[in-house]
């Protein structure tokens, strides 16, 4: 329950919308399996509109599995995953995507035989009422490198260009919740800086981002809230305001 405080009593309610906006993503008691392997054990993560939240952890801690579970890509799952107010735990992956979830997997999934622009145009636009996908022009404005490389084959793109393309592709669909798996991995510092600028821009436009990272330096200045995973469980959750106080704990959990 929201606690009333003096600050809130003083500030006028936003016109036409007196309720605080519901979370875009709300995960409660999530368990997930690959075959017989029980990987996630009661994961809890939430994100409101325009928030960037990061899921940190060592390799094998269950971060990618959390993103796959949201998409319905694990073998079995139990618990609750609400997306834009809808329970998705029983939905197939395409049903989850249609609610406005854009998933950028670790392996990026760029089609080698298609050009940059063909890759961009591949995913269908979503029938999400409160979101419209970006046009190619808007995307090329955000990623000028992709505009230059629009006719290049997927195989000819650098790692950084492929990563930008993988992100750009989900922006075209109209997704408002972005699940990004280790997007900074293996990329040159200048590209990582570009990606950080893009995340900030998307946040300012009201996108909600769940950023799975190993790269703490990349995630730290971007995130509104931090989640740390270990053995398929969230072992630490804190807001950005507590980051300095939590540095010691993080060092222990992440070896940063």
Ligand X SMILES: Nc1ncnc2c1ncn2[C@@H]1O[C@H](COP(=O)(O)OP(=O)(O)O)[C@@H](O)[C@H]1O
**Residue ranges in contact with ligand X by CB under 6 A:** 34, 37, 39, 57, 59-65
Residue 253 structure tokens = 């959990």
**225: nearest Cα among 84, 26, 87, 62:** 26
Cβ atoms of 146 and 161 closer than 8 Å: yes
Residue 184 touches Mg ion, criterion: CB under 5 A: no
Taking the least distance from each CB to Mg ion, the nearer of 185 and 224 is 185
Residue 65 touches Mg ion, criterion: CB under 5 A: no
What separation, in Å, do the N-terminal and C-terminal C-alpha atoms of the chain show?
35
Q: How far is the CB of 92 from ligand X (least distance, A)?
A: 18
Taking the least distance from each CB to ligand X, the nearer of 167 and 212 is 212
Kindly report the CA angle at 12 between 8 and 14, in degrees rounded to 5?
105
Taking the least distance from each CB to ligand X, the nearer of 63 and 172 is 63
Residue 64 touches Mg ion, criterion: CB under 5 A: yes
Euclidean distance between CA atoms 160 and 36, whole angstroms:
36
Look at residue 111 and give the partner it binds from ligand X, Mg ion, none, a contact being a CB closer than 5 to 8 Å depending on partner kind. Answer: none
Euclidean distance between CA atoms 180 and 9, whole angstroms:
37
Q: How far is the CB of 118 from ligand X (least distance, A)?
A: 29
Q: How far is the CB of 39 from ligand X (least distance, A)?
A: 4
Residues found near Mg ion in the complex (CB under 5 A)? 64
């Amino acid at each position: 329950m929201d606690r009333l405080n003096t600050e809130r009593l003083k500030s006028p309610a936003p016109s036409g919308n007196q309720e605080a906006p519901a979370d875009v993503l709300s995960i409660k008691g999530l368990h997930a399996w690959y075959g017989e392997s029980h990987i996630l054990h009661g994961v809890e993560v939430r994100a409101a509109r325009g928030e960037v939240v990061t899921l940190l952890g060592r390799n094998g801690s269950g971060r990618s599995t959390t993103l796959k579970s949201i998409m319905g890509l694990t073998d079995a799952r139990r618990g609750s995953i609400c997306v834009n107010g809808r329970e998705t735990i029983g939905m197939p992956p395409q049903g989850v995507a249609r609610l406005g979830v854009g998933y950028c997997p670790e392996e990026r999934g760029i089609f080698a035989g298609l050009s940059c622009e063909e890759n961009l145009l591949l995913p269908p636009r979503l029938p999400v009422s409160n979101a419209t996908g970006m046009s190619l022009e808007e995307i090329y404005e955000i990623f000028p490198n992709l505009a230059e490389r629009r006719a290049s084959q997927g195989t000819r793109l650098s790692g950084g260009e492929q990563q930008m393309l993988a992100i750009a592709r989900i922006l075209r669909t109209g997704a408002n919740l972005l699940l990004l798996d280790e997007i900074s991995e293996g990329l040159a510092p200048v590209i990582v800086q570009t990606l950080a600028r893009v995340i900030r821009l998307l946040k300012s436009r009201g996108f909600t981002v769940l950023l799975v990272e190993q790269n703490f330096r990349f995630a730290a200045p971007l995130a509104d809230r931090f989640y740390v995973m270990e053995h398929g469980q969230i072992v630490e959750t804190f807001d950005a305001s507590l980051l300095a106080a939590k540095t010691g704990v993080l060092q222990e959990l992440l070896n940063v």
